[in-house]
Amino acid sequence: MTQPHREHHESPFKGKTGLTRLFNALRYSLDGLRAAFKHEDAFRQECILAAVLIPLALFMPVSGAGKALLIGSVLFLMIVELINSAIEATVDRVSLEHHLLAKRAKDIGSAAVLLALVNLACVWGLVLLG
């Protein structure tokens, strides 16, 4: 007994495979980084923070695992900020009117960034102070 054919409704942009898909994904990712840097003050500030902290982590007298934790906490903050910015842009695209669910989504995204900042401070404090 065969299953009836189900039609999949996927994005028309999902058709690429192989190296073409990888190059497209890289281009879209770089476009996203450029857009975040251009339009998001917080992301620009975190890029400055990363430009200071990542080289500093590399020269710290800590183990390789310690350096990885220090750098990872900075990159984690930037990742969370990118996701938060995407949530905010999506909510604003749907509607600019005030709505409880829109506020909740933005507040939760902001809380995620706060926790990533707390994580960064804790990791740096624990690695450097023992």
Considering 7, 10, 40, 81, which one is annotated as catalytic? 81
CA–CA separation, 107 vs 88, rounded Å? 10
Q: What is the per-residue burial (b if ≥16 Cβ within 10 Å, else e) of 79-102?
A: ebbbebbebbeebeeeeeeeeeeb
Helix (H, G, I), strand (E, B) or coil at 93: helix
CA–CA separation, 17 vs 13, rounded Å? 11
Q: Tell me if 70 sits within 8 A of 58, measured CB to CB.
A: no
In the annotation, is 81 catalytic? yes
Positions annotated as catalytic residues are 81
